[in-house]
Amino acid sequence: MWEDASADSSPLSARERQVVELVSQGFRNREIAQRMFISEQTVKNHLHNIFDKLGVSDRLELALYAIHKNLQAPA
């Protein structure tokens, strides 16, 4: 179901991987936007693209994907 998402073979851009990391840490769109210095709409656009690329349908599935593929930052 999930593609291999290691850094060198990931279908995601660096910014998309950053969004995935922040989502998996529990941040909301507004908080992600503030941390990344982008608009909330840009975060939504990134999430839409991420969902399409990874074949996930929501934030929970994305967070589980990140944990499964070790895409989240170390605590």
Q: What CATH number is attached to the domain comprising 41?
A: 1.10.10.10
pLDDT at 7 over 90: no
pLDDT tens figures, 17-65? 999 999 999 999 999 999 999 999 999 999 999 999 999 999 999 999 9
Total number of domains constituting the chain: 1
Residue with tokens 């399409």: 52
CB 63 within 8 A of CB 24: yes
Q: Does residue 23 fall inside a structural domain?
A: yes
Q: How far apart are CA 39 and CA 54, in angstroms?
A: 23
- The pLDDT score that the predictor gives to residue 75 is 56
Q: What is the pLDDT of residue 69?
A: 82
* Spatial distance between the Cα atoms of 33 and 15, rounded to a whole number of angstroms: 12
Q: Looking at the domain assignment, is residue 32 inside a domain?
A: yes
Residue 5 pLDDT grade (very low, low, confident, very high; cuts 50, 70, 90): very low
Is residue 6 assigned to a domain? no
C-alpha separations of 40 from 28, 37, 45 in Å: 10, 9, 9
| C-alpha dihedral (43, 48, 51, 52), degrees to nearest 10 | -140
Question: What domain range is 28 assigned to?
Answer: 14-68
